[in-house]
Chain A
């Protein structure tokens, strides 16, 4: 059995176990007092937002023999930290030795600046199962917010269980769903060792590249290749539901768009045309793809109804029109065009019609993507030092904030709760995947091989929606 089915079954089980735990009342009370509950309070220019300080104590191992290798508290802290919304306090700064189940000396935790505290323990259960118990405290008010537990049937699921606890804490305190148990997709390019020619001709023909479409946990854990090819793979993007990924494959020497089911691996080729078939983008209802075709001379934006194969051309300009994305209300397609001389963002109604320019800041703004509720637009902005940085524009206030420093950041994708942005960045030599809070805090590299950060050629990440 592969990780998917195993994880999904497990997730369902956990979900149902959570329903039984009545703790959300505390979240409401707590949230009103001193917690960031309104999304608007996070929309602040750099420096003004201060993340919520939380202490996550080491989880006590109450079994006999070897403790599990996963450090639950560390995984939870890391998750919360990279959201940019929380500031976990390092365990080194702890002033007292926290114990699970005993009395909590809130005054000491307050001295350390903690607003919230998590204590927990791990108890063996059944043959190879574990029961992870945790308490979440409001340090300010000196009260217990939640005492819950997560059962897992196998120790190998402890990392996922830790993400799930992080989600739970996130939602209890912010009122928004956590994203640490979601998944991402991305393209990895590498030299195919099998394909390299040794000896023989002596001409030193370079090793063939191998492109892989990979689905992994949101923190890079459990990477699984769902498609591989010697020809480039590009532009993976999750469907709004049913766990499908649309992507571009150059197999056979031409670009074609495929839609592939993550679970079954079954894939379908979308109607294709001469020239570019690229940059697929799902409509919010999942029935239509916006895409780029150059069949009529140069790259233009089209809508393709997947069921009927009906095609509607949306743009009519000489030059490059590309990188379409739907506004979450389904009314517009936003795209990149060089019609004004430099690449800028524009929008066009999905029924066709008048095109409106959206960006005027600088000489390069491209590849827009919207936060799920539609308020924020992230895109790639080239600054005056020619650095390519991720920018976020608040569509209500028109305020733009640069949330990364470049020099070569690209392909932003919002987390399903809109609080984080996943993107590809040039590392020392190669591309890495990173996340950053929408507020510009906590830029973090993703563990692209599951356990440690490696530089490779990682590209075009797409964050899966909530299931």
Chain B
């Protein structure tokens, strides 16, 4: 189900659904076959960039400073930033075990946040890097730093002023799921974008 929700967001269903239906974008880890397919599809749509329409008109309350990415519309208005239907409200990026490589499926979210920072220069983001509890605590501080740094680097490549970006690695100090299951560990391997005003 989570996969469906994410796919829906990525392919623009969300933009059309607007205020009516409540598509709850759940920024959950997507690591199985379905999501790989989704990535594939997403890449396809990248190739068709020229053909994409800009804004479809059927928008919800996100109206002020809208952008669109891969068919998903999002708002750069700080007033909308916590609206669950706005891409900007998605602030968690998940990682594979012992990896700091940002998955393709998160590049849109990071681009949206980059645009937000470019538009709102009085905002800044602290990128928190987190890991699961496997491995030593110091190594995990290093791994969390690499994860936060990977996200930061993409944002800088997107043109964001480095002054608007900071990173902090908490390693395994702030686990959000203490269960011993693999699913729990997957939720712990993450980078979190925390907004603040300059």
* Interface contact A321-B166, CB-CB below 8 Å: no
A299 contacts partner chain B, Cβ-Cβ < 8 Å: yes
B174 contacts partner chain A, Cβ-Cβ < 8 Å: yes
Of A232, A235, A276, most B-chain CB atoms within 10 Å:
A276
* Interface contact A299-B136, CB-CB below 8 Å: no
Beyond A234-B137, A255-B168, A364-B135, 14 additional pairs, beta carbon < 8 A: A232-B170, A250-B168, A275-B145, A294-B145, A299-B141, A319-B146, A320-B145, A322-B138, A323-B139, A336-B138, A343-B135, A366-B136, A366-B139, A408-B133
The residue of chain B having its C-beta at the shortest distance from the C-beta of A364 within the complex is B135
Partner of B166, one of A234, A274, A292: A274
The residue of chain B having its C-beta at the shortest distance from the C-beta of A426 within the complex is B133
* Interface contact B137-A410, CB-CB below 8 Å: yes
* Interface contact B142-A321, CB-CB below 8 Å: yes
CA distance A319 to B139 in the complex (A): 11
* Interface contact A323-B149, CB-CB below 8 Å: no
Query: Which parts of A287-302 form the interface with B (CB within 8 Å)?
Result: 292, 294, 297-299
Query: Which parts of A330-388 form the interface with B (CB within 8 Å)?
Result: 336, 338, 343, 364, 366-367, 380, 388
The residue of chain A having its C-beta at the shortest distance from the C-beta of B149 within the complex is A298
* Interface contact B166-A255, CB-CB below 8 Å: no
Contacts of B170 in A (CB 8 A): 232, 250
* Interface contact A253-B142, CB-CB below 8 Å: no
Partner of B145, one of A253, A299, A366, A367: A299
* Interface contact B173-A411, CB-CB below 8 Å: no
* Interface contact A411-B136, CB-CB below 8 Å: yes
Query: Which parts of B111-141 form the interface with A (CB within 8 Å)?
Result: 126, 133-139, 141
Of B133, B139, B143, B167, most A-chain CB atoms within 10 Å:
B139
Contacts of A279 in B (CB 8 A): 138, 141
How far, in Å, is A76 (CB) from chain B's closest CB?
34
* Interface contact B145-A411, CB-CB below 8 Å: no
Contacts of A255 in B (CB 8 A): 141, 168-169
Chain A interface residue bracket vs B:
35 or more
How far, in Å, is B146 (CB) from chain A's closest CB?
6
* Interface contact B141-A276, CB-CB below 8 Å: yes
* Interface contact B141-A336, CB-CB below 8 Å: no
* Interface contact B169-A276, CB-CB below 8 Å: yes
Query: Which parts of A267-284 form the interface with B (CB within 8 Å)?
Result: 274-276, 278-279
CA distance A299 to B134 in the complex (A): 19
How far, in Å, is B150 (CB) from chain A's closest CB?
10
The residue of chain A having its C-beta at the shortest distance from the C-beta of B167 within the complex is A275
Contacts of A297 in B (CB 8 A): 149
Partner of A253, one of B98, B126, B171: B126
* Interface contact A380-B136, CB-CB below 8 Å: yes
CA distance A254 to B194 in the complex (A): 13
A389 contacts partner chain B, Cβ-Cβ < 8 Å: no
Partner of B136, one of A274, A323, A338: A323
Partner of B173, one of A234, A275, A338, A364: A234
A459 contacts partner chain B, Cβ-Cβ < 8 Å: yes
Chain B interface residue bracket vs A:
20 to 34
CA distance A364 to B134 in the complex (A): 11
Partner of B168, one of A253, A321, A459: A253
> Contacts A232-B170, A276-B169, A408-B133 given: A343-B145 contact, CB under 8 Å?
no
> Contacts A255-B168, A255-B169, A276-B169 given: A298-B138 contact, CB under 8 Å?
no
A460 contacts partner chain B, Cβ-Cβ < 8 Å: yes
Contacts of A411 in B (CB 8 A): 136-137
* 26 A-B pairs (CB sep. < 8 Å): A234-B137, A234-B138, A235-B138, A253-B126, A254-B166, A254-B168, A274-B166, A275-B145, A275-B149, A276-B141, A276-B145, A276-B169, A278-B138, A278-B141, A279-B138, A279-B141, A294-B149, A298-B145, A299-B145, A320-B145, A320-B146, A322-B142, A366-B139, A388-B135, A408-B133, A411-B137
How far, in Å, is A456 (CB) from chain B's closest CB?
14
* Interface contact B136-A367, CB-CB below 8 Å: yes
Of A234, A279, A299, A366, most B-chain CB atoms within 10 Å:
A299
CA distance A459 to B172 in the complex (A): 12
* Interface contact B146-A298, CB-CB below 8 Å: yes
How far, in Å, is B21 (CB) from chain A's closest CB?
25
How far, in Å, is A274 (CB) from chain B's closest CB?
7
* Interface contact A320-B137, CB-CB below 8 Å: no
CA distance A385 to B173 in the complex (A): 25
Query: Which parts of B162-189 form the interface with A (CB within 8 Å)?
Result: 166-171, 173-174
Q: Which 5 A-B pairs have the closest CB atoms?
A: A320-B142, A232-B173, A299-B142, A322-B142, A367-B136
CA distance A255 to B137 in the complex (A): 14
Query: Which parts of A426-467 form the interface with B (CB within 8 Å)?
Result: 459-460
> Contacts A234-B173, A274-B166 given: A320-B136 contact, CB under 8 Å?
no
CA distance A294 to B142 in the complex (A): 8
CA distance A319 to B142 in the complex (A): 9
Partner of A299, one of B98, B146, B166, B174: B146
Of B98, B142, B149, most A-chain CB atoms within 10 Å:
B142
CA distance A46 to B169 in the complex (A): 39
How far, in Å, is A381 (CB) from chain B's closest CB?
11
Contacts of A276 in B (CB 8 A): 141-142, 145, 169
How far, in Å, is A60 (CB) from chain B's closest CB?
47
How far, in Å, is B93 (CB) from chain A's closest CB?
18
The residue of chain B having its C-beta at the shortest distance from the C-beta of A386 within the complex is B134
* Interface contact B141-A234, CB-CB below 8 Å: yes
How far, in Å, is B181 (CB) from chain A's closest CB?
14
The residue of chain B having its C-beta at the shortest distance from the C-beta of A235 within the complex is B138
Contacts of B135 in A (CB 8 A): 343, 364, 366, 388
CA distance A231 to B46 in the complex (A): 42
